[in-house]
Amino acid sequence: MDYFLLKQDVRYTHVPTLQKVMETIDPWKLYDLQPEDIVKPLMFHVKADAESIFIDYLEGPIPLISDALKRLVQAYVPEMPMKLTILTQIEQKIQKNYYIPFVERLAAVHPESEWNLDQSVLRKLVLQADAIRSHKIFTIQESATPMIIVRLDVAESILRRDYTGIALEQVQVK
């Protein structure tokens, strides 16, 4: 089965950027955030202008998915917890609902994967076939930053719909 890395499309340059994330979320929990860490909906002010495009997947510092993408993800993994996050831009009077997906983390990195010198950043990801069997959407446990991986059927569903700002990169599986 083929798997793909879900990424923010770099061709979209006018996207909103989250402001003051570290004031809202404890920096020590940022990359290991759990659903119980968030008791009420989060609200982030964003830096955006009239030309900004609110794309369906915002990669960082925490992954955020749009309401439309949330519905597709829940069709494949209905038990996945998600927390509402409201993005606001006061000057433009814009408010959009996004969700933080709490994707299952798997130890799935194959020994043939390539890391940088201090083993903190994956340069080339290779997945272990045994570790990911039957998982439709997951993140890489060994990675310091969130890397969401989707199975081929999920990737095809994403491509069939009119989502913006999403790129898919095929990942090698051994």
Domain boundaries, the chain: 3-173
Q: Which residues, other chains included, contact 46 with Cβ-Cβ below 8 Å and sequence gap of 6+?
A: 16, 17, 18, 19, 87, 88, 89
Q: Considering only residues 79 and 50, tell me which one the structure prediction assigns the higher pLDDT.
A: 79
Q: Distance (Å, rounded) from C-alpha 107 to C-alpha 161?
A: 30
Task: Band the pLDDT of 40: cuts 50, 70, 90.
Answer: confident
pTM flag (> 0.75): yes
Q: Which of 67, 53, 55, 68 is nearest to 160 (CA)?
A: 68
Which one is predicted more confidently, 116 or 2? Answer: 2
Q: Indicate if the pLDDT at residue 161 is higher than 90.
A: yes
For 18, the 3-state DSSP assignment is strand
pLDDT band at 11; cut points 50, 70, 90: very high
Per-residue pLDDT of 124-136, as tens digits, reads 888 999 999 889 9
Torsions phi, psi for 35 (to 5 deg) = -55, -35
| pLDDT value for 113 | 85
